[in-house]
Structure 1
Amino acid sequence: MTTSGKRPPRSDAPWDLSFLRIGIVATAATAAVAALVTGLLAGWGDAVGVLAGAAVVTAFFTVSGLVIAWAGRIDDTFTLPAALGMFFVKAVILFPLLNALPEDGWLDRRTFALTVVVGALLWSGVQLRWVWTRQLYYVPPPAPPASASSADPERPAPGG
């Protein structure tokens, strides 16, 4: 709200979710290399933990991005509650999931959990870089400049 009590005009700019593609590619490449190295050094059960952890992190960040963008399309003030709500939902899902895994099961819990932490840091880095390299406006962007012929109707157009 402004000091006059009116809401500023909403931007018609669409929510850009291109960071999802970048995050998915970065996670897939990192997980493939990490799973191969982990499989050779620690065993293939640990490698499956790496792949499962990367899949969970990718799903969580993708769903969060979509929900936050959906909330932002409705009203910008809904984005923070949507982000915090998704964080809570992810924690409520992840903690029981980790506890439900058997300690000596085919999927190594420690490797899975470590992969989730590393994956979250990777995705955070992708999002930070994406934001730092975009031209984002904190106010509605200015209108493009008018051409010389449309700026002054009494002035003849060049060459005419």
Structure 2
Amino acid sequence: MPDAADEEPETPLPDLPPLPADPRWRVEHLPFLSAVSMALLTFAASAGFFVGGAASALGAAAGVLIVTLSFTMSTLVIAWADTVRPALLMPLGLLTYTVKYTLLGVILAYGVSSEWDGRTALGLGIVAGVMVWTAVQAWWMYRKTARK
């Protein structure tokens, strides 16, 4: 029978800071960003149609939609992890980004290697979606923190 002296001492978990009173701040930008993304999707599809027809319209719209879904998924996973246990942020954030960029790479590799007429518009839609989402989110966060 082991002695109490033979047992390893338990290390306590570190004290975690209290969670904010209202955790909705993590996702409060999503409705506005989604609206901007849908406006961009409409614009991209229209521009694609006028430049290259239905295939380009579909490609441009799909590119913007891919980015919108991808960034929304990342935001929701990170917000959930931060609410449940902040220690999960790094592993879940890295996993989310790995999955997201792997899928994006597969989509782009397929699009570039195909003979589909909308492949250029798909790439341009992805670029436009990333640029607009990033700029609007940066603006939102600046506006949010500048008031404090």
Q: Report the TM-score, using the length of structure 1 for normalisation.
A: 0.71
The equivalent of 1:71 in structure 2 is 81
Aligned match for 2:122, one of 92, 112, 115 = 112
Structure 2 counterpart SS, 1:104: coil
RCO greater where, 1 or 2, for CA within 8 Å and sep 6 or more? 2
| CA–CA distance in structure 2, aligned partners of residues 69 and 87 of structure 1 | 14
What residue ranges of structure 1 are gaps of 5+ in the alignment? 137-160
- Across the aligned residues of Structure 1 and Structure 2, the Cα RMSD in angstroms comes to 2.1
- Structure showing greater radius of gyration is 1
> Partner of 1:52 in structure 2?
62
Aligned to 1:10: 19
In the alignment, the residues of structure 1 paired with residue 73 and residue 15 of structure 2 have an alpha-carbon distance, to the nearest angstrom, of: 33
- Segment of structure 1 superposing worse, 9-18 or 58-67: 9-18
Question: In the aligned structure 1, how far is the partner of 2:123 from the partner of 2:42?
Answer: 17
1:93-142 CA-partner distances (Å, limit 9, x unpaired):
11112223452125x22221221122011111121112112249xxxxxx
SS at match of 2:115: coil
- Percent identical among aligned pairs is 28
Structure 2 segments unaligned to the other structure (5+ residues) = 1-13
Provide the rounded CA distance (Å) in 2 between the counterparts of 1:33 and 1:10.
40
CA separation in 1, counterparts of 2:85 and 2:145?
21
* Partner Cα separation in structure 2 for residue 121 and residue 81 of structure 1: 26
The equivalent residue for 2:133 is 123
Name the structure 2 match of 1:140: none
**Kept in 1: contact 2:66–2:126 (CA 8 A):** yes
Change (3 A) 1:6 1:67: closer
C-alpha separation in 1, matches of 2:127 and 2:47: 18
